[in-house]
Amino acid sequence: MHTENPYLLREGRVKKVIREAEGVFTFYIETPIKAFPGQYNMLYAFGMGEAPITIAHAENGHLIHTVRAVGDVTKHIDTLKEGDILYYRGPYGNTWDIESAYGKHLLIVSGGLGLAATRWIYEKALKEASAFKKLVHLYGAKDYDSLIYRYLYQQWGMGENFLITLDKPDERWKGPKGLITELLKMVNVEPDTVVFMCGPDPMVKAFIAELEKRGVSVRNIYVSLERHMKCSVGTCGHCMIGPFFVCKDGPIFRYDRIREFFERKEV
């Protein structure tokens, strides 16, 4: 049986570039490859290496990636212009278990650039809104200038389904201020609520502690982990958390499966 080489490089032409914030750009890549909400690609820069980047969306023959320039690879990618070729491997990883939320409250929680990992599943959930008792998305950003996807907020139901808070006050921002856990006070959380979450580890831990106070079981919480993935096929071990490979077994995990490893400082 023929098996495709997992290290095979694909190429896609950059059709559109959007500047989201300082050092953060969204790329629309023309490619026939199919993907699903929650998956990621390894974006490649010749002579520099590659970086795992979540697939923020896929539409009309395009994969959408939002990239923050933090290293040589991502700094190179963020210089690409419309018409350039972007090389990548993938897609890899599992998907959000949206069916587990049917008939229940679905709460999506995003911190910082973690919104790129939840954007697609939120838009899918909006299209299927009648399948849930209630759908709410909470998004926390460091400051006003780091907000991403501002051009989508109105269609996402800003102020109703989609609530935003900023860590730092800003005269340009009239909405909620403070840590994202403060937004929970604005939401009715039932014990059987299903939660999809992506953000910095401290935010995830703090938010889950608040959810547990409200009676939400960790079996209903799904977390997309951001780890340094090198091979994406479960051989190098760089991304291991306990016995799991984030690249192959994740990046999305039901929290009760990884809790003992996620909350240990040395893991």
Query: Which residues are documented as binding site for [2Fe-2S] cluster?
Result: 231, 236, 239, 247
Query: Largest alpha-carbon pair distance within the chain?
Result: 62
Known binding-site positions: 231, 236, 239, 247
Instruction: State the Cα–Cα distance between residues 102 and 226, nearest whole angstrom.
Output: 26
| CB of 92 closer than 8 Å to CB of 41 | yes
End-to-end CA distance of the chain: 38
| 24 bridge partner residues | 21, 68
Which residues in 89-123 are b (16+ Cβ under 10 Å) and which e? bbbbbbebebeebeebbbbbbbbbbbbbbbbbbbb
**How many residues would you count in the chain?**
267
**Is residue 234 packed enough to be buried (19+ CB in 10 Å), middle (13-18) or exposed (0-12)?**
middle
| CB of 93 closer than 8 Å to CB of 82 | no
